[in-house]
Amino acid sequence: MESKVLYTLEYLVGHLDNIDNLKLKANILRNYEGRNFMEDSPEDIRYEDIRLDLFPEVKKLMRTLMDKFEEQYGLKIKPVPTSDPNEVVWAVVHQHNESTNWHDHATHTNYNKGAKVSAVYYVDVPHNSGDIVFKVHENPFVTKMYLEKAETGKFIMFDSTLLHCVTKNLSNYNRIIISMNFTFDD
């Protein structure tokens, strides 16, 4: 007799001390205050997503996360190929009482060429400013949720199809994060 695993789902969590969060925060806030959003309409889901300048610190963050993933799993990942670099990396600023609804990062129309691994990096997250929650349908009758605390300097890498949301920012300060999408390097 043997036991076989059909499916497992995990995510990678760690902290980075080689990233200059002050430089990242300044770039993000400049684009946020300049209303440099991914979409112009507040009704669009990408309206809260802020464009980033791909300056050296952003590239260093992405390279560091790709290296961490390879170190953990022995698999190389690369940024999702796209004509718009902000489809790969973008920022979100949540003010008091703001949150993000349930979503995933999979490309529903073309999963084969879209995101396989997504990441979040916490640039500046004051206490009580919102955490990420993952939702897993273990079977048709059981849904479980897993909360991962947000902390400045922390990263989380996860399967792009994994449903997640962000709880409300109950602090009086901005919550600033960077999101990224990767695919496997053939």
68-124 pLDDT, tens per residue?
A: 999 999 999 999 988 888 889 999 999 999 999 999 998 777 778 889 999 999 999
d(CA 75, CA 92): 28
Nearest to 78 by CA among 91, 90, 93, 89: 89
pLDDT at position 30: 96
Share in percent of the chain as helix, strand, coil (round to 5): 20, 35, 45
d(CA 142, CA 64): 36
Give the contacts of 88 (CB within 8 A, at least 6 positions apart): 62, 79, 80, 82, 180, 181, 182
DSSP 8-class letter at 113: G
Rounded mean pLDDT, 158-178: 97
Element (DSSP H or E) covering residue 32: helix 21-33
Whether 170 and 97 have beta carbons less than 8 Å apart is answered as: yes
Is the pTM here over 0.75, yes or no? yes
Between residues 21 and 84, the one the model is more confident about: 21
Token pair 């008091």 in the structure block, residue: 96
Most confidently predicted of 4-13, 102-111, 136-145: 136-145
Sign for the pseudo-dihedral over CA of 25, 88, 128, 94: positive
pLDDT at position 5: 83
Question: Quick one: CA torsion of 123, 13, 172, 24, rounded to 10 degrees?
Answer: 0
pLDDT at position 186: 77
pLDDT at position 111: 78
Is the model's pLDDT at 21 over the cut of 90? yes
